[in-house]
Amino acid sequence: MEVITALDNDIAALTAQLQEIRVFNKQSKGKHALNNLPDHEIASSAFHSEVEQTITSLLNLRIAHYIANDLPIPAAIEHASILDDELNGISALSIIDQEDEDDPLVGLPGPSTTAPTSHCVACYSQLPLGDIIRTPCGDHYCGDCLKELFLLATKDENYFPPRCCRQKVPIELITPVLSPEELKAFQSASIEFTTKNRLYCSNVGCGKFLAPPTASGLDVVTCDKCLSQTCIQCKKAEHTGDCPEDEALQATLVLAAEMNWQRCNACKSMIELDTGCYHMRCKCGHQFCYICGVEWKKCRCAQWDENRLVARANVIVNREPAGRRRMAPAERAQRMGVVRQELIERHQCTHPRRLEKIERQRPEHGANWPGFQCEMCNSRLFYHILRCTRCHIQVCDRCRRNRIAARDDDDDDDVW
């Protein structure tokens, strides 16, 4: 932290120096020929560029220290974006030569122009428009951040397909930035994540996804990485004769029944419900009832459990400003009832409205405060969190942009 503090001090000092250069430039403007700038203006312009480049380097170094020390990046980005705005405001200033009305030999310089820029919504870097990639939703990304999203979607199915503001981002936008190996990895992940009943190499040390066989009637698939053969039926190592019963799977199913877990009928993943209603949306996209496992809306099971509902309402009330102080029993009971009803009516919330930004409040959030927690990826954030005003879910910036998927059940009564 001492390094970051020192960087902050250096950046602040250099930013103040840029302001002084601006004042100096305004006060020292005079009459001169277009191609014959005074020495002091040439020196001032060169010094301005040098200081600006130094600040940019320090900003990048500061963010690198946050990453290296596993500190929350949003604060560094927010601070950097403020300084970037300051730099852009100063950079837009130029030494404008004035017209000499008395001497016709002195030329009149043209107006100073600045190339149009925009900022990346992920890292807040200010870049020329030519270096910005515009996604279908209209947001602007730099090549590095959009590439990072696609690489993340290659490894984490929760981010597949890559999307921003619920709209899919076409691979064509980032193809020029991806290496052949990265493009191939994404294409392989696309096949894997769009396959319902998946098969993986039975070799424990390998575990590579095995694409569906192109020929029908095959019982065995050979892994092109380790050459192990896997039975399509039991998904274990190749064997002779009839496929034996998968004892490990049966043991898992017994445990799942004891723990009240449910299994997705599409991709066979095991799911545990912590809070919320019984409407499940698996990472593969399949929707089903948590009680019976049947496809959603095709059973008559209850939609929620009262104990889970009250527990969730309790969490929401406790993190509200009023809940963090001692509420009178009657006041708390009334607020719990309101939140409980909201959860019932909005359990299929699509988060259509702009999310509310909740910032850390001092000294209300003391030194031992554990920070905000994203309820989608479980990451900790110490400066702000985004909260849906309808269903009260709290998410980080990345999950808000890239993980909240578009829904295909817009006919629900509670969708606005």
pLDDT in tens, 107-152: 445 445 566 888 888 888 888 888 899 999 889 999 999 999 999 9
Q: What is the pLDDT of residue 181?
A: 94
Is 77 a member of any domain? yes
Residue where a domain stops, chosen among 33, 65, 99: 99
Each as own residue / partner, the long-range contacts of residues 67-71 (CB below 8 Å, 24 or more positions apart, any chain) are 69/1, 71/4
User: What gap in Å lies between CA 156 and CA 185, rounded to an integer?
Assistant: 12
pLDDT of residue 104: 44
pLDDT of residue 96: 34
- Residue 310 inside a domain? The answer is no
Structure confidence at residue 281 as a pLDDT band (50, 70, 90):
confident
Residue 327 in any domain: the answer is no
- Chain centroid to CA 35: 49
Mean pLDDT on 345-352: 77
Q: Which domain holds residue 2?
A: 1-99
Mean pLDDT of 69-89: 48
pLDDT the model gives residue 189: 92
Domain count along the chain: 2
pTM of the model: 0.51
pLDDT in tens, 227-245: 998 888 788 888 876 566 5
The verdict on residue 278 lying in a domain is no
In a domain, 25, yes or no: yes
Residue 129 lies in a domain: no
- Single residue among 71, 99, 127 that ends a domain in this structure: 99
54 assigned to some structural domain: yes
CB atoms near residue 249 (< 10 Å): 13
Q: Which residue has the tokens 């969730």?
A: 312
Reported confidence tier of residue 252, pLDDT bands at 50, 70, 90? confident
The position carrying tokens 């990639």 is 133
Cis previous bond, 38, omega within 30: no
Model pLDDT for residues 149-205, shown as the tens digit of each residue: 999 999 988 889 999 988 999 999 999 999 999 999 999 999 999 888 888 998 989
pLDDT of residue 217: 57
Widest CA span of the chain, in angstroms? 105
Amino acid residing at 272: E
Q: Which of 99, 128, 154 is the last residue before a domain boundary?
A: 99
Is position 234 within any domain?
A: no
Q: What confidence tier does 28 reach under pLDDT thresholds 50, 70, 90? A: low
pLDDT at 248 over 90: no
Task: Determine the pLDDT at residue 244.
Answer: 60
Give percent above pLDDT 90 in the chain: 14
Share above pLDDT 70 across residues of the chain, in percent, rounded to a whole number: 70
